[in-house]
Each structure stands twice: as structure tokens, then as C-alpha cells.
């Protein structure tokens, strides 16, 4: 019983510390937004990937970085409307 409580408290601590790990109330849209933003930030952080994208798109590295940052604002579009539970 104590192991289960210990694992549960560790998981709660991890979820409060790192936003991308999610929690029980995380919607599909929020999870996808976190995945897309993590991917875009990884692309910008790895210099070789950024070079690859710039060559593939025939754009400058600064333009590719700018486009990736623009996509990070709303990578999956606006959030879906939540149904009202009255």
C-alpha cells in the first residue's frame, strides 16, 4: 500500500513540475499542443535539423526559425469548445 501511495505522490510531483507530462484532466488538444511545441523547440535547438529544414525549404535559417516560432503559438489551431455541463 505504501508503494502505491509513494508512486502516486511521485507522479503528482512530476506532473506539477513539468507541464508536458499531463494529468488526468488533460484534454487531447492540450496533449497535442504540448507534443507539437516540444517538437518545434527541439528542431530549433538542434542546429543540424535547422540546417536540413532550411535547405529542404530553400529558406534562410533565420526564416525557418521564425516560422517554427510562429507555429508554436497555436500549433493545433484554436481549442475546441467545451460542452457546458449545467
pLDDT tens track for 65-85: 999 999 999 888 888 777 665
What pLDDT is attached to residue 84?
A: 66
Q: In the structure grid, which three cell numbers stand for residue 80, read together?
A: 475546441
Rounded CA-CA distance 37/45 in Å is: 12
In the chain, domain spans: 27-72
CB proximity list for 74: less than 8 A, separation 6 or greater: 33
- Per-residue pLDDT tens over the stretch 29-67: 888 888 899 999 999 999 999 999 999 999 999 999 999
This prediction has a pTM of 0.72
Amino acid at each position: 500500500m505504501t508503494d502505491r501511495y509513494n508512486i502516486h505522490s511521485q507522479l503528482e510531483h512530476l506532473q506539477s513540475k513539468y507541464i508536458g507530462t499531463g494529468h488526468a484532466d488533460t484534454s487531447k488538444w492540450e496533449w497535442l499542443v504540448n507534443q507539437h511545441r516540444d517538437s518545434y523547440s527541439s528542431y530549433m535547438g538542434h542546429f543540424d535539423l535547422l540546417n536540413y529544414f532550411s535547405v529542404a525549404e530553400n529558406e534562410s535559417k533565420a526564416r525557418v526559425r521564425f516560422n517554427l516560432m510562429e507555429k508554436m503559438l497555436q500549433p493545433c489551431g484554436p481549442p475546441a469548445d467545451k460542452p457546458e455541463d449545467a
